[in-house]
């Protein structure tokens, strides 16, 4: 049985630049595979491989529409990454803002 996808797997999945291009394209709307092939200018097997990685971590969902397989973004799977990056960034933004206050005090003391 396949092991459950973890947050780290999702990090790895979006670490690949081509897969980020796919996610960017799907962020706008769902698209069939052939459209992604055209957009990325990659051979179909490469695109399919990237899509399989994204599907395995739950970043995209797929449905059949006639002869086409249509992919769409599943933002929920990427939420842990977003939350982490946002939280880490916000902590450092808070630190720098407070640091600016400390530095204002130090500058006044020097003058």
Binding residues (CB under 8 A) for other proteins: these are 6-8, 11-12, 14-15, 17, 20, 23-24, 27, 73, 75-76, 78-96, 98-104, 106-107, 110
Nearest CB to other proteins, comparing residues 23 and 47? 23
Q: How far apart are CA 54 and CA 46, in angstroms?
A: 13
Nearest Cα to 30, choosing from 59, 61, 67, 66? 61
Nearest CB to other proteins, comparing residues 65 and 100? 100
Whether the Cβ atoms of residue 33 and residue 65 lie closer than 8 Å to each other: no
Q: How far apart are CA 31 and CA 33, in angstroms?
A: 7
Nearest CB to other proteins, comparing residues 43 and 79? 79
Nearest CB to other proteins, comparing residues 38 and 94? 94
Number of other CB atoms surrounding residue 58 within 10 Å = 16
Nearest distance in Å: CB 92, other proteins: 5
Nearest distance in Å: CB 80, other proteins: 8
């Amino acid at each position: 049985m396949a092991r459950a996808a973890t947050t780290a797997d999702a990090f790895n999945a979006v670490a690949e630049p081509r897969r980020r291009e796919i996610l960017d394209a799907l962020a706008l709307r769902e698209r069939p595979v052939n459209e992604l092939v055209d957009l990325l200018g990659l051979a179909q097997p490469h695109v399919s491989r990237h899509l399989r990685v994204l599907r395995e971590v739950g970043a995209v969902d797929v449905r059949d529409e006639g002869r086409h397989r249509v992919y769409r973004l599943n933002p929920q799977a990427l939420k842990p990454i977003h939350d982490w990056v946002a939280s880490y960034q916000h902590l450092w933004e808070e630190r720098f803002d407070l640091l600016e206050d400390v530095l204002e005090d130090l500058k006044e003391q020097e003058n």
